[in-house]
Amino acid sequence: MSRFDCIPDKIQCNVSRYWVYNFYQMLYKVGTITAWHTTMFATLLILILASTDILATDYILLVEDSDIYTPCTDGPPGSVSLNEAFDVSEMPVELDEEGIHVSGNITTRWSLPRNYRISAKMSVLHFNRGNWEPTVFNSLTPDFCDAMFNPNLFWYKHWFKNFENRDEIQEKCLATQGTVLVYNPFVVVPRLNNVMGPTLKGRYKVVFLFEAFNEQDERQPSSVCFEITGDAEKIKN
């Protein structure tokens, strides 16, 4: 079980609350986010909200880049960015008083043999005195394709349960080129309220890394790496 692969209702996550608070940065600047990015933000945001019951302050992350997800600055050799791995042009987003309405589809560009294992890693870093420093808040899911439709895991509860063509996605996973992942329309409310803990200050980034391993468990050169960078800001009531 990875640190993210837990049952939020039973609070079975081995994550220190201090770094949980730091991870709350994954919000967005209204008007600059695509539906794909919104879904990723919401998936991780809901997970963190589910893993702590201490509340107090409101925060938002002011994202530096209008594209939200940018190529990794220090990714593995040969890695590609999010927009190189997936076509997200057919996923519209609408903002209103109810939240963010997500619909449409994304198409896989990444291509790997289906018997390859895909691992998913997420790391939070804090910018301090000119350097990006790792935090203790990290996640590793060794077999993402196996985990994404497990009803006890956050991948399913807050992201993959919204896909319409589950059977096709389960068969092909995320690295069969041309696979279309179709969303059932749903609404995301990516608002973070009443967070208690040390005041969030400065720049943070979250790095997402998807890596492939063959049947001999050898890491393959084809990987997907992207990151979000922004400034944590307290919302004034």
Please tell me whether residue 211 adopts helix, strand or coil conformation.
Answer: strand
pLDDT of residue 82: 86
CB 226: neighbour CB atoms within 10 A?
25
What is the average per-residue pLDDT within 182-188? Answer: 84
* Token pair 């996605």: residue: 169
**pLDDT tens, residue by residue, 91-143:** 876 766 665 677 899 999 999 999 999 999 988 888 999 999 987 778 888 99
Mean pLDDT, residues 39-63 taken together: 54
State both tokens at 127: 């910018």
Nearest to 6 by CA among 147, 117, 134, 145: 147
In the prediction, which pLDDT does 205 show? 86
Task: Give dist(CA 28, CA 26) in Å, integer.
Answer: 7
- Enumerate the domain spans of the chain: 8-234
131 vs 34, residue with greater confidence: 131
CA angle 24, 228, 21 (to 5 degrees): 15
Q: What is the pLDDT of residue 163?
A: 93
pLDDT score of 41: 53
What whole-number percentage of the chain has pLDDT above 90? 35
Q: Where is pLDDT greater, at 192 or 133?
A: 133
DSSP 3-state of 204: strand
Answer yes or no: is pLDDT of 177 > 90. yes
Residue 218 confidence (pLDDT) above 90: yes
What's the confidence (pLDDT) of residue 13?
Answer: 37
